[in-house]
Chain A
């Protein structure tokens, strides 16, 4: 092996093994939802948490179903999602230590300005969904077991529609995140159920506007859980609990309330509401 080859190999080895990216510091992995990341909430609150505690929070943004699964496998320290029945199941199965309510926002039904189902301005989400189905207007479903998808399925059920049986060509399951669903709706002028935070920060709206909002059934509660250190010894129990404690503290709750886009508040803290 000549000098040059040897130098190249040494440089390559240095490149692979000596990157600063491998430096391990105080950090936790939080499996959360696309809605908290795409809306910019984490970008707003995480620097405050880091400044106070020195803990880096690494957010893996997934759908609620996938985020819970990531926690179940022990690949995250904390899970921060929005589908209460699924969260309670996660805790009762022993994968999560305890569920803390953190905040809520609401879902909005987004649709094209032309409003083919004639529902714009309504405050009744159930009547609106029934009208969409009756008229066969295009509807985009997340189809990815996310919290938003589960909320959508639940609303169809309340509307008396068995969507698995009654769906026609007008109902399109794309199996992707909130942003992708909004992009698809924007491109095809379809209706779509979205969380308000992602909608407010979404840029590629095209002809889309809010069709239905303000119905109490569109309420969207977020909860946070430490992954059980008993199931997975690798869980960073203390650092993870510190993050949860901060989120539900008055300081964390204020940080959440202070996050605004164009003057509009996106998330409403309610950690003190034990029934949430």
Chain B
């Protein structure tokens, strides 16, 4: 990217390097949200509907994990994926795969905690009907997740917001390699360190625009879904 033109000009002129960065950012964050949802939604729903020893403690811990510091997660994932670490043989460090792993760790507790709250509220509301329907535990979880599907979009968006905004974890495990692991946020950090503040601000505005666009899409999809479902 030439740094003597504004980011807006880069967008308007369809700069391929910028588009590659935007694409990678979306790819990493969306993949992390998908993986985190596959872990977090069932886990959250299970905690909501199950009584076990230490449940209160688990809920407090899960809520606290929503605030995991990205730089600590980045460091932990770095040590795990390093060639000298336990998962080094996968050769994931300094690849987009490592960034997805780190962001999944950050996002999964958010989705799990918000799912737990949503499902638990629904469960209190529909407890009698669901008990009367004589569903097994899996049937109950599935029925409640289905009923909560529109509210869960908000949980996914909260997770996406966290992933798209963070830089601390992915800059450590991705290495901010040009054309390979450089995302919007790591590019902003780099341009700031090069003293090119206008370009950094321009990239920041592009990032905010993309986050708003993703949220608008999700909102539209949710509204359309609600209308279809009556």
Contacts and interface: CB of A to CB of B under 8 A. Distances in A.
Interface of A: 12, 15-16, 19, 21-22, 29, 34, 38, 43, 56, 58-61, 73-75, 176-180, 182-183, 186, 201-205, 232, 234
Contacts of A201: 194
B50 interface: no
Given A16-B31, A180-B193, A202-B195, A22 B93 contact: no
A58 B94 CA distance: 9
B192 A59 contact: no
Contacts of B194: 38, 179, 201-203
Contacts of A182: 195
A232 B83 contact: yes
A19 B27 contact: yes
B82 interface: yes
Contacts, number: 85
A59 B181 CA distance: 10
B29 to A, nearest CB: 11
Contact of B195 (A74, A183, A234): A183
B180 interface: yes
Contact of A59 (B82, B91, B177): B177
Interface of B: 3, 24, 27, 30-31, 34-35, 82-85, 88, 91, 93-97, 100, 175-178, 180-181, 190, 192-197
Contacts of A58: 94, 175, 177, 180-181
Contacts of B30: 15
Interface hub of A38, A59, A73, A75 (most chain B Cβ within 10 A)? A75
A75 B192 contact: no
Nearest to A42: B178
A180 B200 CA distance: 13
Contacts of B85: 73
A26 to B, nearest CB: 13
B3 A203 contact: yes
Given A179-B193, A179-B195, A204-B195, 17 more contacts: A12-B34, A15-B27, A16-B35, A19-B31, A22-B96, A38-B194, A58-B94, A58-B177, A58-B180, A59-B178, A60-B94, A60-B175, A60-B176, A75-B82, A180-B192, A204-B196, A204-B197
Contacts of A177: 193
Nearest to A21: B96
Contacts of A21: 24, 27, 95-96, 180
A92 to B, nearest CB: 20
Interface hub of B30, B177, B195, B197 (most chain A Cβ within 10 A)? B195
B226 to A, nearest CB: 15
B137 to A, nearest CB: 18
29 contacts: A15-B34, A16-B31, A16-B34, A19-B27, A19-B31, A21-B24, A21-B96, A29-B94, A29-B175, A60-B94, A60-B175, A60-B177, A61-B176, A73-B83, A73-B85, A176-B193, A178-B193, A179-B192, A179-B195, A180-B193, A183-B192, A186-B195, A202-B195, A203-B195, A204-B196, A204-B197, A232-B83, A234-B83, A234-B91
Contacts of B95: 21-22
A7 to B, nearest CB: 14
